[in-house]
Each structure stands twice: as structure tokens, then as C-alpha cells.
């Protein structure tokens, strides 16, 4: 729901609405909003108007009062829920943000369930997510961005779920899907396109195998055309593929940490964003050999 605030509305309520609805739903023009939260007076409007009048709140539509709520101690959740249910046709009081959390959580759970675990009980996507967050912190990303990055990294290989099912159970279609590495990025993005709440994750899923020099797949994006999260996940994903015994497909088994870092250094500017690759290698070398998870 889109919302607009005037001066004078209690600050804690303003922050509460921002938290529940997301800052991106806040608008600066009262013409574009679903609901106007105002202090004392506001000209009658066809929008829902929520007037703070000291001890109580009036809720009005078209100049007519439809409800009055007293500002007792825990008024914020009921007031928000009332306004939201009114604006959204009384169908739901679940915010988009929460709905997204639930949908994304279910999908992440499925991925963890379907991937092979290592001795510590983590799967590839979980390890890539942990490493991406650690790297994101090092890059100075703010907490909300780190949360998003973790989610994107958890979902980066979502396209493998469908492909592995097809390879197992669908002999006629297996030929179409014989190039698993290429196809999982495309299938993942097609799959996520059916879940509107997760559309913003698509660029990471689709582009985490692009290369800085433009020779990657599926779209041959180059340099900064590749979204930042996809460039971050690409490095963490590669490192995990190289070093973990579950994902490693390299001759002679998994690489050591230092061997992997040397390969990433060599690939800076070819496979990876040179600036990010440099920072990643620096970060990994600064971590103690056996205590890689101590920061998170």
C-alpha cells in the first residue's frame, strides 16, 4: 500500500509503517497515495485520510468519518492493520514485505533440502550465502542490502531443482537439458518470473555465470552490465565450487584455499570483476585458516 505522511504525525508510528510497508512504498505526493497520515487538518479527499488528533485518530474517506481509534499504548499494530485491510479491500493484512519473506523462505528451505550437505550440515547455496554476506560486509554494504544479498545467494541456483528432476525422470527431454550449467540460469529466471514477489532476484539468478570479459552465459553481459549481486555471488560460488568436496569437480579433488585464491587472482578482469576479485582475495587471506566463519 502506498502511503504519505505530513509533519506532526508521531515519529514512532511513521517508523513502524515504514518497517511494515517498506520505504519504497512511501510517496511524496498525496495524489499518488492510497492513504494520507496527517496531523489535525487535511482537506477532504477520496483517499483514506488518517488524522492524528492528540488522544485519538480519525479515519476518514471523502470527508466522512468511518472510524475513530483511541491512542492507547499499543495502538500501532491495530491501526496499521485496520488501514491496510481497508485499503486492500479487507482481503489481507499481510504486508508485501512479510509475504515475500514467507515465499522466499519456503523456496530457500526447498533448496537446502534438495542440495547435498557437507560434514558441517551446510549445502552449496548455504555456504555461498554465508560467504556472500561476509564479503558484502567487507564491501561495506548496509544491513538491508546484506539481507537481500543473502537471499539472492541462497536462491542463485534455484534453476537446478527443475533440471535435476527432468534429468532423472524425463528421458525424452534430457537431450534438451544436457548443458546443465547454462540452462539452470535461464530456467531459474523463468521459474522466478512466476513469483512476482521475487522478481528482483531474477538478475542474480540469471547472471551469476556471466564473465567480466563478456564470455560467460547466458547473455554474454560484460563488465558492469552484470548486476553487482551477480558479480559478488559469481566469486563466492566459484570459490565454493573449487574448495568444497561436495561441489568440486576438479581433477585431483578439491583445491586448497590458497590454490583457489590464486585461480581467482588470475581470473580477475577475465572471469571476475577485478576490483571485487582483489577485495575477495584480500578478505580470505586475512581470515584465519580454520576459523572462516568466526565473523558471521
Closest CB 224 distance from Fe ion, rounded Å: 20
Return the number of other C-beta atoms located less than 10 Å from residue 67's C-beta: 14
Q: Which span (12-20, 82-90, 133-141, 152-160) binds Fe ion, by CB under 5 A?
A: 152-160
60 touches Fe ion (CB under 5 A):
no
Closest CB 122 distance from Fe ion, rounded Å: 13
Whether the Cβ atoms of residue 231 and residue 136 lie closer than 8 Å to each other:
no
Q: Which span (35-43, 105-113, 233-241, 256-264) binds Fe ion, by CB under 5 A?
A: 233-241
273 touches Fe ion (CB under 5 A):
no
Report residue 207 as a C-alpha cell.
547472471
Q: Which span (77-85, 134-142, 153-161, 191-199) binds Fe ion, by CB under 5 A?
A: 153-161
Q: Among residues 151 and 157, whose Cβ is nearest to Fe ion?
A: 157
Q: Among residues 33 and 243, whose Cβ is nearest to Fe ion?
A: 243
Closest CB 270 distance from Fe ion, rounded Å: 18
Distance CA 73, CA 86 (A): 22
Closest CB 173 distance from Fe ion, rounded Å: 20
Given candidates 104, 189, 237, 244, which one binds Fe ion under the rule CB under 5 A? 237
Q: Among residues 189 and 237, whose Cβ is nearest to Fe ion?
A: 237
Instruction: Give how many residues touch Fe ion by CB under 5 A.
Output: 2
Q: Among residues 83 and 149, whose Cβ is nearest to Fe ion?
A: 149
Q: Among residues 132 and 237, whose Cβ is nearest to Fe ion?
A: 237
Q: Among residues 104 and 132, whose Cβ is nearest to Fe ion?
A: 132
Q: Which span (22-30, 76-84, 146-154, 155-163) binds Fe ion, by CB under 5 A?
A: 155-163
183 touches Fe ion (CB under 5 A):
no
Given candidates 21, 60, 151, 157, which one binds Fe ion under the rule CB under 5 A? 157
DSSP, residue by residue, the chain: --EEE-TTS-HHHHHHHHHHH-GGGB-S-GGG-SEEEEES-----SSEEEEEETTEEEEEETTEEEEEEE--TT-HHHHHHHHHHHHTTTS----HHHHHHHHHHHHHHHHHHHSPB-TTS-BHHHHHHHHHHHHHHHTT--HHHHHHHHHHHHHTTTHHHHHHHHHHH-TTTGGGG--HHHHHHHHHHHHHTT-GGGGGGHHHHHHTT--TTS--SSS---GGGS-HHHHHHHHHHHHHHHH-TTT--STTSPPPHHHHHHHHHHHBTTTB-HHHHHHHHHHHHHS-TT-TTTT-
130 touches Fe ion (CB under 5 A):
no
Q: Which span (47-55, 198-206, 232-240, 272-280) binds Fe ion, by CB under 5 A?
A: 232-240
Q: Which residue has the cell 479527499?
A: 45
The binding site for Fe ion (CB under 5 A) comprises 157, 237
Amino acid at each position: 500500500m502506498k502511503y504519505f505522511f505530513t509533519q506532526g504525525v508521531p515519529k514512532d508510528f511513521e517508523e513502524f509503517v515504514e518497517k511494515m510497508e517498506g520505504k519504497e512504498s512511501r510517496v511524496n505526493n498525496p495524489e499518488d497515495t492510497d492513504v494520507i497520515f496527517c496531523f489535525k487538518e487535511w482537506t477532504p479527499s477520496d483517499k483514506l485520510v488518517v488524522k492524528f488528533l492528540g488522544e485519538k485518530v480519525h479515519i476518514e474517506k471523502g470527508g466522512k468519518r468511518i472510524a475513530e481509534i483511541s491512542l492507547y499504548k499499543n495502538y500501532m499494530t491495530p491501526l496499521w492493520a485496520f488501514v491496510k485491510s481497508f485499503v486492500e479491500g479487507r482481503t489481507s493484512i499481510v504486508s508485501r514485505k512479510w509475504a515475500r519473506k514467507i515465499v522466499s523462505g519456503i523456496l530457500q528451505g526447498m533448496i537446502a533440502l534438495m542440495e547435498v550437505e557437507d560434514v558441517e550440515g551446510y549445502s552449496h547455496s548455504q555456504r555461498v550465502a554465508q560467504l556472500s554476506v561476509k564479503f558484502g560486509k567487507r564491501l561495506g554494504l548496509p544491513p538491508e542490502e546484506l539481507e537481500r544479498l543473502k537471499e539472492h545467494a541462497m536462491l542463485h541456483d534455484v534453476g537446478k531443482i527443475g533440471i535435476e528432476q527432468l534429468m532423472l525422470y524425463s528421458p525424452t527431454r534430457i537431450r534438451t537439458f544436457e548443458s546443465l550449467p547454462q540452462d539452470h540460469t535461464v530456467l531459474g529466471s523463468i521459474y522466478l518470473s512466476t513469483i512476482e514477489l521475487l522478481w528482483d532476484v531474477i538478475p542474480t539468478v540469471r547472471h551469476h555465470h556471466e564473465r567480466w570479459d563478456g564470455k560467460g552465459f547466458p547473455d554474454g553481459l560484460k563488465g558492469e552490465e552484470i548486476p553487482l549481486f551477480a558479480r559478488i555471488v559469481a566469486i563466492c560460488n566459484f570459490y565454493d565450487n573449487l574448495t568444497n568436496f561436495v561441489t568440486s569437480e576438479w581433477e585431483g579433488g578439491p583445491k586448497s584455499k590458497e590454490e583457489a585464491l590464486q585461480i581467482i587472482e588470475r581470473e580477475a578482469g577475465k572471469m571476475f570483476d577485478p576490483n571485487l576479485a582483489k577485495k575477495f582475495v584480500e578478505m580470505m587471506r586475512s581470515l584465519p585458516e580454520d576459523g572462516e566463519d568466526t565473523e558471521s
